[in-house]
Chain A
Amino acid sequence: MDLHDRKEEAAFRAELRSWLRENLPEELRGHRGGAARFEGLAPREWSRKLHEAGYAGLTWPAEYGGGGRSPTYQAIFLEELSRTEAPPHVGVIGLGMAGPTIIAHGTEEQKLRYLEKILSAEEIWCQGFSEPGAGSDLAGVRTSALLNGDRFVVDGQKVWSSFAHIADCCLLLARSDPASTRHEGLTYLIVDMHAPGVEVRPLRQITGEAEFNEIFFESAEIPAASVLGKIGGGWQVAMTTLLHERGTLGFALQAQLEVSVHRLVELARDRGATPLQRDAIAREWIELQALRYTNYRSLAQLERTGIPGPEGSIAKLVWSEANQRLTKLALELLGRDAPLAGDNAPYAGWWQHQQLRSRGNTIEAGTSEILRNIVAERILGLPRSR
């Protein structure tokens, strides 16, 4: 056990730090997340710069424009990004889900067609999984994709799709066998969001912003070559996507939490805190450290065996609840100013936005209820509840 960086890791970190110092535009520092992740041209410009410097897709194979490095470097990258309060790459779904799924299941043609454009932020991706009738119970998907000659004809509705209104491509899970139910007969398709018959309607959310959308498909025609994996094998491919979402997300979440805890401490130093609030602040700081080293433990096993340690699967659950607690605590520290919003509020409404946005954290990417089921059944081995 050695919790210091190895020599090469330390060199990478130092180089990255100085690169960030020189290249991060001041107006992007301290971004507040949410829609600020994609509004305007600056986030794309920033993402392209990250790619040109070799920092996008650090763990992806080098032949597709990635860094070909071990996951530790991705962890260092995310840590340093958060310490400078730099915004993440705009291709959140592309980097976290689409790319890894294409690397695992895509044809050579698909890899060459899509991967580099994810890294350069030339193409933005969204995910078409959830439907009005299929949320946590994803196997209830009803959107249909019927093969007709060399094309699929897609009909149906997807919902809660982040980035869809700016996306060029969609990872779509649809039912290709109309007679099938549940996990059978599903197919995973790459859909061109600009194709006729694809319509996106933004959904305004609790923060007032629209980060997610409804997607309507009306006889949208998709080339048959857009299948990822096998026709009818969509469930297995979708599990890769979700596994990746849950497996490598930990460091990104920890990095976000680090920014928030750091700001919480600053806030308390600025405005004072009661003994009970001090206790709560210490609790959040301690939990952040515990989450960080839990991620490191899981990462160590990933590096050693290729499979992340089971403890890593608690990262999203722990992070989401911590973020909700600490943003609420921040509003408490703001006292009578807490009800203000936007530019009228202290720190330009940063905390009000964080607090409202955090309510989505225990819903998106696997609700806390589903995540506790997963811990109970797959890690603890308790009997399945359904």
Chain B
Amino acid sequence: MDFTFTPEQEELREQAQVFLAEHATPTWRELADLGWTGVSVPEELGGAGLGFLEEAILFEETGRALLHAPLFSTIALVLPALPDDLKAEVASGDASWTIALGPLVPDLDTAQRVAFVGGDGIYELDGFEREVLQTMDETRPLGVVVGGEAGRRLGDSELLPEIRRRSLVALALEACGVGRRALEHAVDHASVREQFGRPIGVYQAVSHPLASSYAELELARSAALWAAWCVAVDDGNASISSASAKALAGDAAVTACERSIQTLGGIGFTWEHVLHRLYKRALGIQAWEASGAQLRAEVAAHLLDGPIDDKEA
């Protein structure tokens, strides 16, 4: 049992933190030059030949930074379905993707190409029009595709459960990054803002909700990293852990943002402060694919309706 990251993985996290602190809206090419688009693409195709754990690190950091680029849709959603030549294009930065898994398509404003599910296959969509919709979270707009026809067959629709697991874990980790950043804003504010002659952080009515945010976000992070590992090694618990992680992390991030908005008072309620953007990303994550309650219904079915076996993951 070893629940630590390797020095190389820690380095990747540091690289991401440093880069994202200075580049709020990098181009796809810049992300490719960093090696992020090809993290899990085999070396012979121009990638780094790493795996989902490294991608998970990137999702936590890009979530925190509210990255406005199609990294989630390309890497978490479409990459597993792409044939080798198209994987190479992703690694080199020549292509970014999203997929229409339902009517609302994420990252449609920035993704170059679009896939869709038809029958037993996943295909590229050709000759369509895109309509980007007004979305609460301006850093990840949803859109709809209009018209179009099936182009190249990319992969098998049997990949969809894996794509779902990847998306749930990726968003769970994004949520951890979002929530943590919101908490840090509240801690910073409560440490310097004075009322009644003392910094407001000394009042337990202020500090205890923030301690609860910390506890909830750490639990969520543990669940998300567990799920990331399960997906990375294709463990038997990959489905249940990814559903659990997104349920826990989505809710934890939303609650952490709400507490932080409350802590910052009027400032937290302004358009100018970043908190509302974090909050909207958290809400978007919560709503993606299945809500916390829907995911918990899946977990409950696993625990209560299936055959009796060792349910302790």
Footprint of B on A, CB under 8 Å?
A: 1-6, 9, 72, 75, 83, 258, 262, 265, 268-269, 273, 275, 278-279, 281-283, 285-287, 289-294, 296-297, 299-301, 304, 311, 314, 317-318, 369, 371-373, 375-377, 379-385
**Distance in Å from the Cβ of A283 to the closest Cβ of chain B?**
6
Given A3-B1, A278-B297, does the pair A294, B222 have CB atoms closer than 8 Å?
yes
Known: A2-B2, A317-B215. A372 touches B304 (CB 8 A): no
> Do A294 and B297 touch across chains, with their CB atoms under 8 A apart?
no
Q: Which A-chain residue is minimally distant from B237 (CB atoms)? A: A289
Please give, as numbers and ranges, the residues of chain B lying within 8 Å of A83 by CB-CB distance.
Answer: 312
Q: Which residues of A have CB within 8 Å of B311?
A: 262, 265, 285
Residue of B nearest to A295 (CB): B222
Q: Please give, as numbers and ranges, the residues of chain A lying within 8 Å of B2 by CB-CB distance.
A: 1-3, 6, 300
On whether the beta carbons of B4 and A380 are closer than 8 Å, the reply is no
Given contacts A318-B219, A372-B212, contact A283 B3 (CB under 8 A): no
Interface membership of B173, Cβ < 8 A:
no
Option from B5, B190, B218 in Cβ contact (under 8 Å) with A382: B190
The 3 closest A-B pairs by CB, nearest first: A293-B222, A282-B296, A290-B219
Beta-carbon nearest neighbor of A286 in chain B:
B244
Chain A residues positioned under 8 Å from B201 (CB to CB): 376, 382-383
Assembled-state Cα–Cα distance A380/B300 (Å): 34
- Main DSSP-derived SS at the B contact region: helix
The residue in chain B whose Cβ has the minimal distance to the Cβ of A379 is B214
Residue of A nearest to B293 (CB): A279
- Of the A-B pairs whose beta carbons lie under 8 Å apart in the complex, a sample of 20, sorted by A's number, is A2-B2, A3-B3, A3-B229, A258-B312, A273-B300, A273-B304, A281-B300, A281-B304, A286-B223, A286-B244, A291-B222, A300-B2, A300-B3, A372-B207, A373-B207, A380-B183, A380-B187, A380-B211, A383-B201, A385-B207
Return the contact of A311 from the options B191, B222, B313 (Cβ within 8 A): B222
Point out the residue from B191, B212, B221, B312 that lies within 8 Å of A262, measured CB to CB.
B312
Min CB–CB distance A316 → chain B (angstroms): 11
The one of A3, A282, A299, A372 in contact with B303, judged by C-beta atoms closer than 8 angstroms, is: A282
Q: Name the CB-closest residue of B to A310.
A: B218
Contact partner of A1 among B5, B211, B244, B303, CB < 8 A? Answer: B5
Q: Which residue among B218, B220, B248 has the maximum number of chain A CB atoms within 10 Å of its CB? A: B218
Residue of B214, B225, B296 near A375 (CB, 8 A) is B214
Q: How far is the CA of A311 from the CA of B223 in the complex (A)?
A: 13
**A258 contacts which chain B residues (CB < 8 A)?**
312
Indicate if B288 sits at the interface (CB-CB under 8 A). no
Binary contact readout B143-187 vs A (1 if CB under 8 angstroms, 0 otherwise)? 000000000000000000000000000000000000000010001
Complex contacts, A2 vs chain B, CB 8 Å: 1-2, 229
Looking at the assembled complex, report how far the CB atom of A9 sits from the nearest CB atom of chain B, in whole angstroms: 6
Q: Which residue in chain A gives the minimum CB-CB distance to B198?
A: A383
**Alpha-carbon separation in the docked complex, A285 to B29 (Å):** 42
Chain A interface, >50% SS class = helix
Nearest chain B CB to A352 CB, angstrom units: 23
Cβ < 8 Å to A, chain B residues 53-74:
53
Chain B residues near A297 (CB, 8 Å)? Answer: 3, 222, 225
Task: Give min CB distance, A377 to chain B, whole Å.
Answer: 8
The docked-state distance in angstroms from the alpha carbon of A77 to that of B213 is: 31
Q: Which residues of B contact A283 (CB under 8 A)?
A: 296
Q: Does B134 contact A (CB under 8 A)?
A: no
Q: Chain B contacts of A289 at CB under 8 A?
A: 223, 226, 241, 244, 313
Task: Report the bound CA distance from A291 to B204 in whole Å.
Answer: 25
User: By CB atoms of chain B within 10 A, which of A265, A275, A283, A376 has the most?
Assistant: A376
Partner of B297, one of A279, A300, A304: A279
The answer to whether residues A380 and B214 also contact, given A262-B311, A293-B223, A314-B219 and a CB cut-off of 8 A, is: yes
Contacts of A375 in B (CB 8 A): 211, 214-215
Q: Does B274 contact A (CB under 8 A)?
A: no
List, in ascending order, chain A residues with CB within 8 A of B5's CB.
1
Once A83-B312, A279-B300, A376-B208 are accepted as A-B contacts, the answer to whether A381 and B202 lie under 8 Å apart by CB is no
A372 adjacent to B204 (CB under 8 Å): yes
User: Which residue of the partner chain, among B199, B225, B293, contacts A383 with CB atoms under 8 Å?
Assistant: B199
Question: What string of 1s and 0s marks CB contacts (under 8 Å) between B225-258 and chain A?
Answer: 1100100000100000100100110000000000
Asked if B203 is at the interface (CB within 8 A of a chain A CB), the reply is yes
- Of the residues B191, B229, B297, contact of A381 by C-beta under 8 Å: B191
What 0/1 pattern do residues 294 to 313 of B give for CB contact below 8 A with A? 00110110011000100111
B210 within 8 A of A: yes
Question: How far, in Å, is B87 (CB) from chain A's closest CB?
Answer: 24
Q: Bound complex: CA of A4 vs CA of B2, how far in Å?
A: 8
Alpha-carbon distance between A371 and B207 when the two chains are bound, in angstroms: 12
Q: Is B4's CB under 8 angstroms from A72's CB?
A: no
Q: Which residues of B are found within 8 Å of A371, using beta-carbon distances?
A: 211
Alpha-carbon distance between A290 and B222 when the two chains are bound, in angstroms: 6
Find out whether the CB atom of A300 lies under 8 angstroms from the CB atom of B226.
Answer: no
Q: How far is the CB of B229 from chain A (nearest CB, A)?
A: 5
Question: Roughly how many angstroms separate A340 CA and B4 CA in the complex, as a whole number?
Answer: 47
Nearest CB on A from B297, distance (A): 7
